[in-house]
Amino acid sequence: MKNRPMRLQKGDTIGIIAPSSPPNLESLQHSLTFLEGLGLHYKFGPSVENTHGYLAGTDEERLNDLHAMFADPTIAGIICAGGGYGSARYTDKIDFQLLANNPKILWGYSDITFLHTAIGKYSNFITFHGPMLASDVGRHTFQEKSGQMFKQLFQPMELQYTEDYSPLETMVAGVAKGEITGGNLSLLSNGLGTEFEVDTKGKLLLIEDVDEEPYRIDCMLNQLRQAGKLQDAAGIIVGDFSNTEPKKRKVSLNLEEVLTHYLGALNVPVVKGFKIGHCEPHFAIPLGAEAILNANDKTLTILPGVQ
């Protein structure tokens, strides 16, 4: 059972960090109005505006920002400016005991998947897979339904995903209960064979990705299959896979064929169509929280992520 971080209250200060690539600063600036509308103050990590090639500052600078925000008693929660690439470069240097001693809301997705998995494993508290400031909130495409998901940070609330939110498809029937784990498929496959690889045993595995062709998704799912991660899961939550059209080959399997090949024969509930991932609207969820996936009724019920 993962620990739940404390809820936010109006007037709290949240820390803004860029754990991976440099965020779009104009979009980040636009997102601050949304935070103010939630009644929150904010504080930037020193390296948020830094650039080190395709990284938002050096590994040491980004790691220092992460540590400083967790250690600072005036910071009530942490929201990532964006993803991209780079959080895995310093994950082995994170002081997980520092984080465990100061459990706080950590909110982000995409490349942040590597941090979610590591923190859940070694600091044992719930983190949040949700839209980020520069990547999502500050853009004109950001939808009110996505913004509503931040309410779960201010009071413990059970989340219920039904077909009222988006059409869902049952790939394998059944009902399963367990902690939600996972996130971005690329990052999950990258972590295999490391001390930060995802633990799926008895858990509900979320997978989502963007800008990956079917053969790449095939490769990553096959890697998870051969590592036993698909077979170990209690159920599979298939999130959003956007921009997956074949480009390199004129003749290709499509995404549906790939997903069916790897997930359709599993002996656990599998449901696809969840608007979780690089999409709008974006249904934000607490990773590490207990949930029930009912593939018969096509519902996902998630217990609160905060206390």
Amino acid at 87: S
Domain count, the chain: 2
Q: CA torsion sign, 305 to 119 to 82 to 181?
A: negative
* Domain edge (last residue) among 88, 114, 146: 146
pLDDT digits (tens, 9 = 90+) for 214-255: 999 999 999 999 999 999 999 999 999 999 999 888 899 999
Among the listed residues 251, 258, 194, the one whose alpha carbon sits nearest the alpha carbon of residue 230:
258
Mean pLDDT to the nearest integer, 34-60: 98
My answer on whether 129 and 179 are in the same domain is: no
**Residue 258 — left, alpha, or beta (φ > 0 → left; ψ -120 to 50 → alpha)?**
alpha
pLDDT digits (tens, 9 = 90+) for 75-93: 999 999 999 999 999 999 9
My answer on whether 89 and 214 are in the same domain is: no
My answer on whether 89 and 166 are in the same domain is: no
My answer on whether 183 and 277 are in the same domain is: yes
Q: What are 43's two structure tokens? A: 């504080």
* Residues spanned by the domain of 57: 13-146
pLDDT of residue 118: 98
The reply to whether 7 falls in a domain is no
My answer on whether 141 and 163 are in the same domain is: no
**The CATH number of the domain where 166 resides is what?**
3.50.30.60
Active site residues: 110, 208, 278
